[in-house]
């Protein structure tokens, strides 16, 4: 097996001095169907105005048509619909960094929020169904933490980390980075939404975790910037959202699940449970990913992101499970089921991303929708 030549990209030691492109708005994506096409057409026509209801009429009609039940529609159909998932990604991005050529005034436009809600209702129902109904009798911190670790240990999803460590070739490893990039370049941001919605011990625990994710106040050590450096070292474009057009639907579902839990205060328990599961299942896979990139000839600058998570997340998993999730349930026992929902959804949906990629790679096919080295401007077309 050939190894990937390590390109002479800027060292991660220069991350604090180098202005990366990962801080810009989301590049305008290509539509994946009638709903995302109508959405982009409306958003890029200018800020909300008196004609907004008429401008959104084609979008409302497209959504209604897409959600119209028929004999073949499955209850989880929205989880497999790339058009609807891209629309949700765009709508949620208005609450994160924004989208190129889209006025920020759209973020809280009531008529657009109504459209998002019409997509969120079936999406949330499908996420809940995919997560199942994990049970737990405990409401104490230790009992909740124990149950979260049990859920993680019982997860039998195919391991993308083991595949990258032992079998992935150079191009598959780069595809893995592209798949992860739509979240990792904004790492921690969805979970940070929970901070003002918590109080006391859970809030302190979440801030402790997030402070590490954000580099302890040092910009060059933000985990998102460390991941950007890994991308550069692997010869990839680290622009925020650069590979959105390339990632398959399961990756969009993963990102949208986090945003769904993040932007709704009523789901604060779910975003906490999601983070707990994410941290519990991060340390060992991070070691495997680092080993995989070392196997392919990459140096410490490339693997720094993964190596950092081996140590950090072995600590974070305990804080997230007991001090964050467990103490939250102690404060508000009624949130127990939502905490378990978030954890189970994280495990199931992240597992779906890995299963999709592994099935494609084992067939000798790409896990992406377009070649990695396609220039950003190629194939870009205006929304209809």
User: What's the pLDDT at 15?
Assistant: 40
pLDDT classification of 313: cutoffs 50, 70, 90: low
d(Cα 106, Cα 91) in Å, to the nearest integer?
9
126 and 139 housed in the same domain: no
171 and 81 housed in the same domain: no
Domain assignment present for residue 233? The answer is yes
103 has a pLDDT exceeding 70: yes
User: What's the pLDDT at 57?
Assistant: 98
What residues make up the domain containing 167? 134-362
Domain boundary among 95, 111, 130: 130
74 and 218 housed in the same domain: no
Query: What are the tens digits of pLDDT across the range 189-227?
Result: 999 999 999 999 999 999 999 999 999 988 888 999 999
Q: Classify the phi-psi angles of 264: left when phi > 0, otherwise alpha if psi is within -120 to 50, otherwise beta.
A: beta
14 has a pLDDT exceeding 70: no
User: What's the pLDDT at 160?
Assistant: 97
User: What's the pLDDT at 168?
Assistant: 98
Residue 105 half-sphere exposure toward CB, CA atoms < 13 A: 9
- Measured over the CA atoms of residue 21, residue 297, residue 279 and residue 136, the dihedral's sign is positive
| pLDDT mean over 12-28 | 57
126 and 223 housed in the same domain: no
Query: What are the tens digits of pLDDT across the range 232-242?
Result: 999 999 999 99
**In total, how many domains does the chain have?**
2
d(Cα 364, Cα 94) in Å, to the nearest integer?
37
Supply the angle between the helices 249-263 and 82-93 in degrees, to the nearest 10. 40
377 has a pLDDT exceeding 60: no
| pLDDT mean over 225-232 | 97
Q: List CB contacts of 140: < 8 A, sequence separation 6 or more.
A: 326, 329, 330
119 and 157 housed in the same domain: no
Query: What are the tens digits of pLDDT across the range 338-369?
Result: 999 999 999 999 999 999 999 999 999 999 99
pLDDT classification of 290: cutoffs 50, 70, 90: very high
User: What's the pLDDT at 298?
Assistant: 97
Domain assignment present for residue 24? The answer is no
Query: What are the tens digits of pLDDT across the range 119-142?
Result: 999 999 999 999 999 999 999 999
Of 86-95, 273-282, 306-315, which gets the smallest average pLDDT?
306-315
What is the full DSSP assignment across 327-357? HHHHH-GGGHHHHHHHHHHHHHHHHHHHHHH
CATH number at 274 reads 1.20.910.10
151 and 119 housed in the same domain: no
pLDDT averaged over the chain? 90
| Cβ neighbours of 377 (radius 10 Å) | 7
User: What's the pLDDT at 70?
Assistant: 61
């Amino acid at each position: 097996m050939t190894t990937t030549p390590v390109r002479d990209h800027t060292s991660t030691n220069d991350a604090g001095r180098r202005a990366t492109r990962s801080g810009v708005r989301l590049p305008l994506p290509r539509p994946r169907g009638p709903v995302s096409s109508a959405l982009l057409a409306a958003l890029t026509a200018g800020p909300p105005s008196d004609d907004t209801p008429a401008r959104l009429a084609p979008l409302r009609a497209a959504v209604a048509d897409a959600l119209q039940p028929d004999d073949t529609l499955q209850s989880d159909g929205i989880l497999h619909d790339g058009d609807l998932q891209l629309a949700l990604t765009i709508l949620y991005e208005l609450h994160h960094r924004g989208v190129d050529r889209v006025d920020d005034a759209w973020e809280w436009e009531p008529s657009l929020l109504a459209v998002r809600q019409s997509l969120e209702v079936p999406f949330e129902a499908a996420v809940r169904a995919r997560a199942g109904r994990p049970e737990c009798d405990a409401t104490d911190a230790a009992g909740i933490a124990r149950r979260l670790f049990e859920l993680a240990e019982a997860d039998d999803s195919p391991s993308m980390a083991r595949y990258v460590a032992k079998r992935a070739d150079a191009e598959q490893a780069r595809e893995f980075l592209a798949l992860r990039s739509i979240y990792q370049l904004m790492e921690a941001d969805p979970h940070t939404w929970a901070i003002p919605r918590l109080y006391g011990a859970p809030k302190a625990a979440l801030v402790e975790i997030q402070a590490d994710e954000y580099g302890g106040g040092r910009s060059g050590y933000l985990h998102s910037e460390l991941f950007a450096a890994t991308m550069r070292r692997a010869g990839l474009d680290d622009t925020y959202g650069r590979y959105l057009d390339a990632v398959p639907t399961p990756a969009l579902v993963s990102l949208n699940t986090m945003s769904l839990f993040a932007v709704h205060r009523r789901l604060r328990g779910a975003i906490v449970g999601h983070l707990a599961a994410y941290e519990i299942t991060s340390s060992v896979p991070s070691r495997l990913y680092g080993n995989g990139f070392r196997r392919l000839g990459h140096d410490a600058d490339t693997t720094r992101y993964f190596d950092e998570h081996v140590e950090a997340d072995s600590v974070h998993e305990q804080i997230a499970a007991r001090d964050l999730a467990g103490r939250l349930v102690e404060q508000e026992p009624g949130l127990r089921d939502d905490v378990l929902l978030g954890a189970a959804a994280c495990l199931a949906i992240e597992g779906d991303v890995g299963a999709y990629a592994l099935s494609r790679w084992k067939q000798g096919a790409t896990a992406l929708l377009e070649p990695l080295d396609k220039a950003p401007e190629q194939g870009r077309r205006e929304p209809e």
